[in-house]
Amino acid sequence: MLPRFGLPVLCLAALIPALAAAAPEREFPSEEGMLSVRTLAEGLKHPWALAFLPDGKGMLVTERPGNLRLISSEGQVGPPISGVPQVWATGQGGLLDVALSPTFKIDRLVYLSFAEGGGEGGTAGTAVGRGQLSADLAHLDDFKVIFRQLPKLSNGYHFGSRLVFDRDGYLFIALGENNDRLSAQDLDKLQGKVVRILPDGQVPKDNPFVGRKDARAQIWSFGHRNQQGAALNPWTGEIWTHEHGPRGGDEINIPKPGKNYGWPLATHGIDYSLMPIPETQGKHVDGMVDPHYVWEKSPAISGMAFYDNPRFNAWQHNLFIGALAAQSLIRLKLEGDAIVHEERLLGPLNARIRDVRQGPDGYLYLLTDAEDGALLKVGLEP
Amino acid sequence: MLPRFGLPVLCLAALIPALAAAAPEREFPSEEGMLSVRTLAEGLKHPWALAFLPDGKGMLVTERPGNLRLISSEGQVGPPISGVPQVWATGQGGLLDVALSPTFKIDRLVYLSFAEGGGEGGTAGTAVGRGQLSADLAHLDDFKVIFRQLPKLSNGYHFGSRLVFDRDGYLFIALGENNDRLSAQDLDKLQGKVVRILPDGQVPKDNPFVGRKDARAQIWSFGHRNQQGAALNPWTGEIWTHEHGPRGGDEINIPKPGKNYGWPLATHGIDYSLMPIPETQGKHVDGMVDPHYVWEKSPAISGMAFYDNPRFNAWQHNLFIGALAAQSLIRLKLEGDAIVHEERLLGPLNARIRDVRQGPDGYLYLLTDAEDGALLKVGLEP
C-alpha cells in the first residue's frame, strides 16, 4: 500500500528540475528602474569570462582552474571541452579570457588567454592561443599558442588579461605587469602592456615600436598595471581598457599607439601598506597620459561591456563594469566618450563580479567570482 | 619685348589646374534641401564601381574596358593598377565590381568581378577573383580567380554583378542570368543566382543546396534576372540586392537562403518588344517570393548605398540607388525594412548613374556611365 502522501511527494520531486530551470528572479532597485536578476547557473569554479556563440547556441565560459564549458541559453552547464591547453592555476593565474574570431562562423576559431608556467625560478606569464571548436561543441582542435608574455615574471600575480578584436580584425591583448612594477615601463618586456597582433600572432607592420631594437614589436601602449577589462566602443570603433590600481587608482584608458599610461611613475594609488609606491612621482607626470576616468578608492574592476542593444533603452550609451572588492556592477553613463555619471548596482547580492557581457538578447550576463560561482542574467523590469 | 597682355594671360594659364581641382559646384533642389554636386574626376571610361580605401587613401574605381585606378579624395586619377585579370570587354561585359576584404588593413585583399571569356561558341560568364594591393597602391599581386559562373552562357548580356561581405565574413555575389532566362530557375547553373562563398572561394557547409546532386552548392537564392546592386543593410545585417526587370519590373529583394525570386516565371515586366515574356505566369506565382519593392516602369537600376552617416541627418535611414535609363539618383526612405517614399534626384544632370556609395566623409559618391564618365560628390547644403 502506498504511503498516504506518496503521490504529492512524487509530484514535487518531478517538478524540481523545472523549478531549477526557471530559477527564482530577484529584484533590486536602480536609478533606471527595477533590475531583475536570474541565476542561470551555479557551481562554476571561479568563472572568469564568457563569450556568446552565434545562433542561440549558448556561451563558452572559462573557469580559472582550467576548464572551458558550454552553457546553454537556459543555463545548462556542459562538461569540460577538451583540447584546452594546460594552464598554470596558481594565485591569480589559470584560464582567463575567451573570445571568438570575428569570422567564427567561417573559421570556428576560439581564442583563450591563460597563465603559462615555464619561466625561470618557477615563474609564469600570460599566453594567448587559438583552436577550432568542433561542430558538436565538445572539443577544441589544433590549439596553438600565438602570443607569449616574455620574459615570464609572475609568482602568481597580475596576469591581466582580456582579448578584443577591433573592426579591422586586429587582436588586442590587455595584460598585467606580473606585479613587477617597473617592467610596465620597459619596452623590452611584455608586462603591463596593451599588445596588438594579427589573428595568427604575427606583428602588424604599423605597430608603433616596429623597427626599434630596444622594444618588442607587439606593443601598442605601455605603463599599465593589471588590466582585466577591454572592449570595443561600438560608437567610435576604439578599444577601451581598464586596470586595477594598487590601493586606489583603478583606471579606464583609451590606449593610443605608442603612448605611456604611467604605471608606476604616475598613479592615483598608493601601496596596500598605505605607504607611497616607491617609484611614483605623482598623479600626473608630463609625457604620460592621464587616465580617461579614475577611481580614487579601488572597486577592483573586471570585465566591461558597452550597452548598445535596443532591448533596454534606459541603458543605451552606458558602460557596465564588474567590481570584485566593491561587490557590485558599475554603471557609467556616457555622453560621447565622457563619463558623466556613475551608479553602483546589485550591492545587496554581495557578489564579486568578474565579468559582464551584453547578450544577443539585450540582457546583461555576469559571472561571479567564487569557489561556487554563478552566471547571472540581468534585465530591467518593464 | 613682351606682348601687352602677356602677363595676365600667363596668370590665367597658371590658374587652370587650381580651378580644375576646386571643380565648380552645382546645386539641385530636393525634398530634403539643396543638393551640392561637385565633379571630382572626368574622363573615366564607363566607370562601373568604386570602393573606398581606409585612412583617407582615396578610392579604387573600375572602368568596364578593364582598368582599375586609384582616385584620390581630391579627384586625382592615377594610372591603371597592374595585375588586374584580362577581362572580356564586350557588350555589358568587362571589369565590373570592386570590394575590399573586411580585413583589408591586415590582408590587403581586393576582390574584383568581371566578365571572363572561354565559354563554348565564344560565350562568356562572370568571374570573381582577388589579389593583394601593393603598399604603393600600384599593383595587385597574386591575383587568383575564386569563383566562376558556369556554364558560361553570355553573348554580351547580363553579367550582373556586385560583391558584398556580410558581418560574419561571407562573400555574396549577385549575378545576372546571361540573358538566358530559364537558366535562372536551373539550380545546376550559376546564372541568375545570388551566391554565397567563403573569402577563398570554398563553399560554406550551411549553404541551402549543399549535398543536393542537382544543384550547385554555391547558390544562396535563385530566380534573379540581372543584378547590379547589393549592399549590407547596416541596421539589420541582411544583404539586400536589386535587379533589372525587362521592360518594367525592376526589383529590390532581400534574398533568403534557398528561396526562388521568380524570374522569368514571375515578373512585373514584359519583353522589350511589348510582348509578354513567354515563360511568365504572372506577377505572383505561389512558392516564389514577391519582390520587396518593384518598379512597374524600369529605371534600370545600378549600385546601392544605405545611408547611416551622421553628416547629413536628413538622409539617415535612406537607401540610394543609381538609375541608368531614368538618369537619376533614386532616394528611398525606409521605416524598418519598409520603403515608404521615393524621390528622384539629379534629373537635370542627364547622367546615367552606374554606382553610388557612401564615402567615409558622409558624402555620396556617384559614377556616371559614359565613354567620358565622371565621379561626382554629392552633399546637402547646410
Choose the catalytic residue: B46, B158, B224, B242: B158
The CA-based angle B44-B46-B49, given to 5 degrees, is 90
Q: Are B54 and A168 in contact (CB < 8 Å)? A: yes
Beta strand pairing status for A109-116 and A125-133?
A: antiparallel
Contact B41, B71 (CB under 8 A): yes
On the question of pLDDT at B55 being above 70, the answer is: yes
Location of C-alpha cell 600565438: A146
Per-residue pLDDT at B12: 39
CA distance A255 to A194: 8
CA distance A69 to A60: 6
Taking the Cβ of residue B136 and every Cβ of chain A, the question of whether any pair is shorter than 8 Å is answered with no
Q: Are B169 and A102 in contact (CB < 8 Å)? A: yes
Contact B328, B22 (CB under 8 A): no
Of B208, B255, B199, B190, nearest to B229 by C-alpha is: B255
- Dihedral class, residue B156 (left if φ above 0, else alpha if ψ from -120 to 50, else beta): left
pLDDT class of B275 with cuts at 50, 70, 90: confident
What radius of gyration do chain B's Cα atoms show? 21
DSSP, collapsed to helix, strand or coil, labels residue A245 as coil
How many other C-beta atoms lie within 10 A of the C-beta of residue B360?
15
Alpha-carbon distance A295 to nearest alpha carbon in chain B (angstroms) = 33
Please give the C-alpha separations between residue A322 and each of A51, A179, A343, B154, in angstroms, as whole numbers: 16, 21, 12, 60
Probe site for chain B from A103, A104, A200, A207 (most B CB atoms < 10 A) = A103
> What are the pLDDT digits (tens) for A38-53?
999 999 999 999 999 9
Q: What one-character DSSP code corresponds to residue B20?
A: H
Location of C-alpha cell 563594469: A321
Q: Are A105 and B169 in contact (CB < 8 Å)? A: yes
What radius of gyration do chain A's Cα atoms show? 21
pLDDT class of A272 with cuts at 50, 70, 90: confident
Contact B297, B323 (CB under 8 A): no
pLDDT class of B22 with cuts at 50, 70, 90: low
pLDDT exceeding 90 applies to what percent of chain B?
92
Catalytic residues of A: 158
Q: Are A105 and B168 in contact (CB < 8 Å)? A: yes
> What are the pLDDT digits (tens) for B148-185?
999 999 999 999 999 999 999 999 999 999 999 999 99
Contact A323, A303 (CB under 8 A): no
CA distance A321 to A306: 9
Contact A262, A255 (CB under 8 A): no
Q: Are B106 and A169 in contact (CB < 8 Å)? A: yes
- Chain B partners within 8 Å of A169 (Cβ): 102-103, 105-106
Q: What is the ipTM of this complex?
A: 0.75
Instruction: Using CB atoms within 10 Å of the CB of residue B77, give its burial: 0 to 12 exposed, 13 to 18 middle, 19+ buried.
Output: middle
Taking the Cβ of residue A170 and every Cβ of chain B, the question of whether any pair is shorter than 8 Å is answered with yes
Q: Where are the beta strands (DSSP E) in B271-323?
A: 293-295, 301-307, 318-323
Mean pLDDT, chain B, as a whole number?
A: 93
Alpha-carbon distance A198 to nearest alpha carbon in chain B (angstroms) = 7
Taking the Cβ of residue A297 and every Cβ of chain B, the question of whether any pair is shorter than 8 Å is answered with no
Taking the Cβ of residue B76 and every Cβ of chain A, the question of whether any pair is shorter than 8 Å is answered with no
Cell numbers for A276: 607611497
Q: What one-character DSSP code corresponds to residue A120?
A: G
> What are the pLDDT digits (tens) for A152-173?
999 999 999 999 999 999 999 9
On the question of pLDDT at B19 being above 80, the answer is: no
Cell numbers for B84: 588586374
Active site residue B292: no
Q: Are A102 and B198 in contact (CB < 8 Å)? A: no
Please tell me which residue of chain B has the smallest CA distance to A197: B106
> What are the pLDDT digits (tens) for B129-140?
999 999 999 999
State the SS3 of A262-331: CCCCECCCECCCCCCCCCCCECCCCCCCCCCEEECCCCCEEEEEEECCCCCHHHCCEEEEEECCCCEEEE
One CATH from 2.120.10.30, 3.40.50.300, 1.10.10.10, 1.10.357.10 for A26-380:
2.120.10.30
Q: Are B103 and A169 in contact (CB < 8 Å)? A: yes
For B238-262, the DSSP string reads -EEEEEE-SBS-EEEE---TT-B--
CA distance A285 to A246: 18
Per-residue pLDDT at B11: 38
Fold of B25-380: Neuraminidase (2.120.10)
Mean pLDDT, chain A, as a whole number?
A: 93
Probe site for chain B from A57, A100, A106, A134 (most B CB atoms < 10 A) = A106
> What are the pLDDT digits (tens) for B326-376?
999 999 999 999 999 999 999 999 999 999 999 999 999 999 999 999 999
Longest alpha-carbon distance in chain B:
87
